[in-house]
Chain A
Amino acid sequence: NAGVTQTPKFRILKIGQSMTLQCTQDMNHNYMYWYRQDPGMGLKLIYYSVGAGITDKGEVPNGYNVSRSTTEDFPLRLELAAPSQTSVYFCASSGTGRGVNTEAFFGQGTRLTVV
């Protein structure tokens, strides 16, 4: 059981370049999330999705885009990369139980550096 898989694990981008961070889960979870974590800091919610075809902004959505065409996949797109987007990016998914979201499972993270 793979859980949540993120690719790539590491990436260096030049300013102005774009890239897509991939995330897939095999637990049939409805909820999926993208967080960023700056060094020594907490997790900030970028975007989230409550099901295929439905996405919404989190706390820090500027500079990012997402899509959710299937239950399994939730890619994060960075357009025109900036140094401020240097961070570790975590994808997570969770299910539902008794009307609330259940525990979130996290991927291993993508360490992105923009130079």
Chain B
Amino acid sequence: GQQVMQIPQYQHVQEGEDFTTYCNSSTTLSNIQWYKQRPGGHPVFLIQLVKSGEVKKQKRLTFQFGEAKKNSSLHITATQTTDVGTYFCAGGGFKTIFGAGTRLFVKA
């Protein structure tokens, strides 16, 4: 079945450092979504990418969708303590499959 793999599993950064998480699918995706989950909370939607090669920005966050629509990345510039949480990618259309997530720790 379809799999969505995400790396790294954990990332510890110093506040102000950059952070990137990568998402890879075994099959071509119709779209990719990114979510953030704060500790003890529920996943909250960040963005959706649909087009091949698409790049979108939200302030310090940059999202990319690969040309083959099989991979994606989320890059955070100059992390802040408020960025702490787990970042998930999700793909697969109506049968939305989540990656395992990357847990981000930010040290002040």
Contacts and interface: CB of A to CB of B under 8 A. Distances in A.
A74 interface: no
B43 A48 contact: no
B89 to A, nearest CB: 10
B48 A94 contact: no
Instruction: Give the interface residue-count category, chain B.
Output: 20 to 34
Nearest to A96: B94
Contact of B94 (A40, A42, A48, A108): A48
Contact of A43 (B1, B45, B94, B98): B98
A108 B42 contact: yes
A48 B90 CA distance: 14
Contacts, number: 61
Interface string B75-96: 0000000000000101001111
A56 interface: yes
Interface in A73-115: 90, 92, 94, 98-109
Given A90-B42, A103-B48, A42 B31 contact: no
Contacts of B35: 104
Given A42-B88, A59-B1, A94 B96 contact: yes
B97 interface: yes
A36 to B, nearest CB: 11
B61 interface: no
B100 interface: yes
A59 B30 CA distance: 19
A27 interface: no
9 contacts: A43-B43, A48-B95, A50-B94, A56-B95, A58-B95, A92-B43, A100-B93, A102-B48, A109-B42
Interface of A: 31, 33, 35, 40-45, 48, 50, 56, 58-59, 90, 92, 94, 98-109
